Amino acid sequence: MQEQSIAGRDPLRAPAIRMRAEFNGRHEQLKLTRVQRELIAYLELHPGSHNLVDLSVAVKGASVAARALARRNLIELKPEPLAIDAAWAQPRHALNPAQQAAVDAICAVLAERRFQTFLLHGVTGSGKPRSI
């Protein structure tokens, strides 16, 4: 269940399309592979945050190298920020008294954690849930 939450996932195992790499300024003289050296050089020359897929175009094998460098704290890997398109969101409409009474009754039963059936009346396609 914890693997399903974003907080519980290992950021180094996320898909490359969802990760951003950034050079954190540390440059220790450690033994690095050719790809790791190329990636660090690229990140030093191009400051800022870069998507791992985009880095793979510039430096072949960048995704694997970035994960290895992140484990050694030479670069930072962060999740890609979620793009939120609020254009589709609409404010919730106010419920009429009958609708509010139905919602209150259902919420009360759910809060008690007991089973009860409800019959909702409404025209076809009006947004009644199939099950709660």
Task: Decide if pLDDT at 74 tops 60.
Answer: yes
Q: Which of 1.25.40, 1.20.1070, 3.40.720, 1.10.10 is the CATH number of 9-79?
A: 1.10.10
Q: Per-residue confidence at 28, pLDDT binned at 50, 70, 90?
A: low
Angle between helices 34-45 and 62-71 (to 10 degrees): 90
Tokens representing 18?
A: 């969802």
Query: Which regions of the chain carry the CATH code 1.10.10?
Result: 9-79
Q: What percent of the chain has pLDDT over 90?
A: 18
Answer yes or no: is pLDDT of 6 > 60. Answer: no
Candidates 68, 42, 77; CA nearest to 56 is: 42
State residue 128's pLDDT score.
Answer: 67
Q: Euclidean distance between the first and final Cα of the chain, in Å?
A: 21
pLDDT value of position 7: 46
The per-residue DSSP string of 34-95 comes to HHHHHHHHHHHHS-S-EEHHHHHHHSTTHHHHHHHHHHTTSEEEEEPPPP--GGG--PPPPP
Sheet containing strand 75-79, edge to edge, reads 50-51, 19-23, 75-79
11: which 2 tokens? 């950021």
The pLDDT tens digits for 80-128 are 877 777 767 777 778 889 889 989 999 999 999 999 998 888 788 777 6
Query: What is the per-residue pLDDT for 112?
Result: 94
pLDDT at 4: 47
Cβ(76)–Cβ(55) below 8 Å: no
Q: Which residues, other chains included, contact 54 with Cβ-Cβ below 8 Å and sequence gap of 6+?
A: none
> What's residue 42's pLDDT?
92
Q: Residue 132 pLDDT more than 70? A: no
Q: If pLDDT is split at 50, 70 and 90, which confidence band does 23 have?
A: confident
- For residue 110, the model assigns a pLDDT of 93
